[in-house]
């Protein structure tokens, strides 16, 4: 388990995750690496590194507005499980069912949704204007559950596409499936925003889990 272990140590050393996040991330990385090898690990690493970079982007400004990720941007085990739990399930099903290609596409879509959701949230918080609630389009303070902005949405589209492109580059998804995966990943973030607006009390972790599950389900249906 050298590669997942080294990655967990580096993620902790560079302040991307907390101690619990490093342990949880190691378990997740192992459960992805064993069935999908370096290809699945590469997509997981894109989300972890890219998400950490976006979390730190303009962090002091986010602190002033009270919307910054707690713990100095270090994410814990709960966050890791909420964002990558569905991906782990898809990776295991890709290796243990007669439908490896379909579940590999769902794996990439779920991580693409997690990455896109992080991008929308972290970039949207830096938007100088006020975001709008997805259900009513009313202007709301930055960081409000279910709030969307143009810069955040564009960032989500870009990261969903980048994740699908990496999945294509490493051979986890085919040429025809890649646009479907990107679309499913982005729609997962739409589901995330809707849940956040309609049921903000369920908490960020469960909302993230539903976001990735929606993206995986859409990829399974469309692929």
pLDDT, one tens digit per residue, over 161-193 is: 999 999 999 999 999 999 999 999 999 999 999
pLDDT over 90 (residue 74): no
The per-residue pLDDT for 77 is 81
Q: Nearest 5°: phi and psi at 133?
A: -70, 130
Provide the residue range defining the domain that includes 91: 2-222
- The model's pTM is 0.93
| Angle, vertex CA 78, rays to CA 77 and CA 82, nearest 5 | 115
- Say which residues have a Cβ less than 8 Å from residue 17's Cβ, sequence separation at least 6: 8, 11, 25, 48, 52, 74, 75, 76, 80
Q: For the chain, what is the domain count?
A: 1
């Amino acid at each position: 388990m050298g590669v997942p272990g080294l990655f967990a140590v580096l993620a902790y050393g560079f302040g991307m995750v907390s101690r619990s996040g490093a342990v949880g991330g190691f378990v997740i990385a192992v459960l992805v690496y064993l069935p999908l090898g370096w290809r699945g690990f590469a997509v997981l690493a894109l989300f972890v590194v890219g998400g950490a970079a976006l979390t730190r982007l303009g962090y002091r400004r986010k602190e002033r507005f009270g919307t910054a990720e707690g713990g100095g941007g270090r994410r814990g085990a709960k966050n890791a499980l909420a964002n990558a739990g569905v991906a782990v399930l898809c990776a295991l099903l890709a290796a243990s069912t007669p439908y490896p290609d379909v579940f590999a596409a769902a794996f990439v879509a779920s991580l693409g949704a997690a990455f896109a959701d992080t991008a929308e949230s972290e970039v949207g918080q830096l938007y100088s204007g006020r975001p709008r609630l997805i259900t009513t389009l009313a202007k709301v303070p930055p960081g409000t559950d279910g709030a969307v902005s143009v810069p955040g949405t564009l960032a989500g589209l870009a990261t969903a596409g980048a994740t699908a492109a990496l999945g294509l580059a490493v051979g986890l998804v085919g040429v025809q499936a890649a646009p479907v995966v990107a679309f499913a990943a982005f729609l997962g973030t739409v589901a995330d925003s809707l849940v956040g607006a309609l049921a903000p009390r369920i908490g960020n972790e469960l909302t993230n889990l539903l976001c990735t599950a929606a993206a995986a389900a859409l990829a399974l249906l469309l692929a």
